[in-house]
Structure 1
Amino acid sequence: MLSRVANNLIWMNRYMARGNGILALLKVNFYANQDSPELFSWTPVIKNFASSETEFHTEDTIECIDYMIFETSNDNSIINIVTRARENARSVQEHISRESWLCINNYYLFLTNNNLRQRLKEEDPIRLLEELLGHHLMFYGTNDIMQERGPAYYFMNVGRYLERVILISDFTTLKLKEISEATDDLEKGLYWRNLLLVVGGYQKYLKTYKSSFNEDQIIDLIFRDKLFPRSVYYCINKLNRHITELIEEGELGNNNLQFLLGKLESSIKYTTIENIKDQGLQNFVDGIKQDIGDISENINSVYYTPIN
Structure 2
Amino acid sequence: MLSRVAANLYWLSRYVERSDGILRMLKIYYASSQDSISEFSWKPIIKIYTGLEKQYVQQMEYNSREVLLYLIAGKENANSVTNIITLARENARSVQDHITKDLWQCLNEYYHLVKDPRLIAAFRKDDPISALDILIKQVMLYYGTAEVTMERGEGRSFMNIGKYLERSIQSIDILDSKFGTIDHNPDLLTDTTYWKHLLLSIGGHELYLKTYRQGFEAENVLEMVVLNSDFPRSVVYSVGHINRYFERLKNNNTISDVKELSFLIGRLYSRIKYSTIETIQEEGLHNYLYSIKKDLYSIGNSVNGQYFAYS
* TM-score normalised by structure 2 residue count: 0.93
CA–CA separation in structure 2 for the residues paired with 1:161 and 1:41: 29
Higher mean C-alpha displacement, 297-306 vs 171-180: 297-306
Q: Which runs of 5+ in 1 are unaligned?
A: none
Higher mean C-alpha displacement, 7-16 vs 205-214: 205-214
- Residue 160 of structure 1 corresponds to which residue in structure 2? 163
Residue 21 (structure 2) pairs with residue 17 (structure 1): no
- 1:191-270 matches, within 5 Å, as 191-250=194-253, 253-270=257-274
Residue 51 (structure 2) pairs with residue 51 (structure 1): yes
- Residue 32 of structure 2 corresponds to which residue in structure 1? 32
Amino acid at match of 2:99: I
- Confirm or deny: 8 A CA contact 1:179 1:191 kept in the other structure: no
Deviation at 1:120, TM superposition (A): 2.1
Amino acid at match of 2:294: Q
Residue 141 (structure 2) pairs with residue 109 (structure 1): no
Residue 136 (structure 2) pairs with residue 128 (structure 1): no
Higher mean C-alpha displacement, 255-264 vs 233-242: 255-264
Amino acid at match of 1:96: I
- Residue 91 of structure 2 corresponds to which residue in structure 1? 88
- Residue 184 of structure 2 corresponds to which residue in structure 1? 181
Residue 249 (structure 2) pairs with residue 283 (structure 1): no
Q: Deviations over 1:218-248 (max 9, x none)?
A: 1111111111111111111111010110111
Q: Deviations over 1:24-78 (max 9, x none)?
A: 1111111111122647411232232123469362222112101110111111100
Q: Deviations over 1:166-217 (max 9, x none)?
A: 1001111111121212242566443322221222111110011122212221
- Confirm or deny: 8 A CA contact 1:23 1:133 kept in the other structure: yes
Query: Secondary structure at 1:227's aligned position in 2?
Result: coil
Give me the CA root mean square deviation. Answer: 2.0
- C-alpha spacing 1:10/1:265, structure 2 compared with 1 (3 Å): same
Q: Deviations over 1:82-101 (max 9, x none)?
A: 00000000011100111111
- C-alpha spacing 1:188/1:178, structure 2 compared with 1 (3 Å): farther
| Pairing partner for 1:77 from 62, 65, 80 | 80
Q: Deviations over 1:255-276 (max 9, x none)?
A: 4111111111111111111101
CA–CA separation in structure 2 for the residues paired with 1:3 and 1:110: 30
- Confirm or deny: 8 A CA contact 1:13 1:159 kept in the other structure: yes
| Pairing partner for 1:294 from 298, 301, 305 | 298
- C-alpha spacing 1:177/1:186, structure 2 compared with 1 (3 Å): closer
- Confirm or deny: 8 A CA contact 1:178 1:191 kept in the other structure: no
Amino acid at match of 1:129: L
* TM-score normalised by structure 1 residue count: 0.94
Structure showing the higher helix proportion among its residues: 2
Q: Which runs of 5+ in 2 are unaligned?
A: none
- Confirm or deny: 8 A CA contact 1:255 1:298 kept in the other structure: no
Query: Secondary structure at 1:301's aligned position in 2?
Result: helix
Higher mean C-alpha displacement, 287-296 vs 182-191: 182-191
Higher mean C-alpha displacement, 63-72 vs 13-22: 63-72
Query: Secondary structure at 1:210's aligned position in 2?
Result: coil
CA–CA separation in structure 2 for the residues paired with 1:305 and 1:75: 24
- Confirm or deny: 8 A CA contact 1:11 1:306 kept in the other structure: no
Q: Which runs of 4+ in 1 moved over 6 A?
A: none
- C-alpha spacing 1:38/1:304, structure 2 compared with 1 (3 Å): farther
- C-alpha spacing 1:38/1:180, structure 2 compared with 1 (3 Å): farther
CA–CA separation in structure 2 for the residues paired with 1:8 and 1:48: 24
Identity, % of aligned positions: 40
Residue 175 (structure 2) pairs with residue 172 (structure 1): yes
CA–CA separation in structure 1 for the residues paired with 2:24 and 2:309: 27
Q: Deviations over 1:115-167 (max 9, x none)?
A: 22112223211000001111110111110011110011111101100100110
Query: Secondary structure at 1:24's aligned position in 2?
Result: helix
